[in-house]
Amino acid sequence: MTRVIAGNWKMHHGPSAARDFLSRFRSPDPGPDVRLVLFPSAVSLSACLESASGAQGLEFGVQNLHPEASGAFTGELSAEMAADAGATLALVGHSERRHVFGESDDETRLKVAAAYRAGLTPVLCVGETLPERREGRLQEVILRQLDAVLGDEATGARIAEGTPFMVAYEPVWAIGTGETATPEDAAEAHRMLRARLEGGLGRERAGGVPILYGGSVKPDNAGGLLAAPDVDGVLVGGASLDPDSFAAIAAAAG
């Protein structure tokens, strides 16, 4: 299985800071089976593409999309525009989109469909809040979020036929809090997600869908998380803003 080390810059690093990051990022060259991905702010995407060198082996994506291809949606960004700007992946349903901006499962489904329409690889983020976890609702919540996309006839068929798809498990209580899920916590949730993918897509196809862990991943805990069963990569927020720390996390995948 290919490993994916992804950085979500959130609302940090405008074009100048993005250029500075790329001038300092030394890819650890972790091997051919490791993909390095950054999700900069959309305004920094072209600066990233212009500054990145082939040797860094980076791919770039956007952090959010609007479901429509174009129209009167002030402030929004379509999948087609992101692809035209050079993005190849898109985060969909990040917990900040769900909990700060009120994004629903139905919207994430439409956004995955939009990503496919434009040829982008969607990275569907799922995760439970602390109250949901305490109420014993981990499985119900993350599988509901996955099913919204997998259970849709059109997107489900695209995924089943092998169109690239990734899932990121990000427990909301571990995002930006310094509170990390243990490798055992991550493995438990990833096992649930893998089982659901296998049920919907069959074992072979499900085995080709990378499941990333996200939530306070740092250079010192990345190795342990990446060694956990069914953890195929990491989605890193804060620690991806510094080129040395992102490189150290990527090195842990090798």
Catalytic residue among 13, 94, 96, 103: 94
Torsion of CA 196, 199, 204, 208, to 10 degrees: -20
What is the CA 57 to chain-centroid distance, rounded?
A: 17
Query: Which own/partner contact pairs does 139-145 have at CB distance under 8 Å and 24+ positions apart?
Result: 139/192, 142/169, 142/189, 142/192, 142/193, 143/192, 143/193, 143/196, 144/105, 145/93, 145/105, 145/108
Residue of minimal Cβ distance to ligand PGA: 237
Catalytic residue check, 94? yes
Catalytic residue check, 135? no
Q: Are 13 and 44 a contacting pair, CB within 8 Å? A: yes
Catalytic residue among 107, 128, 170, 190: 170
3-state secondary structure of 73: coil
What is the CA 203 to chain-centroid distance, rounded?
A: 22
CB of 108 to ligand PGA, least distance (A): 15
Nearer to ligand PGA, 114 or 225 (CB): 225
**Where along the sequence are the contacts to ligand PGA (CB under 6 A)?**
8, 170, 175-176, 214-217, 235-239
CB of 32 to ligand PGA, least distance (A): 25
Q: Are 165 and 92 a contacting pair, CB within 8 Å? A: no
Nearer to ligand PGA, 201 or 211 (CB): 211
Catalytic residues: 94, 170
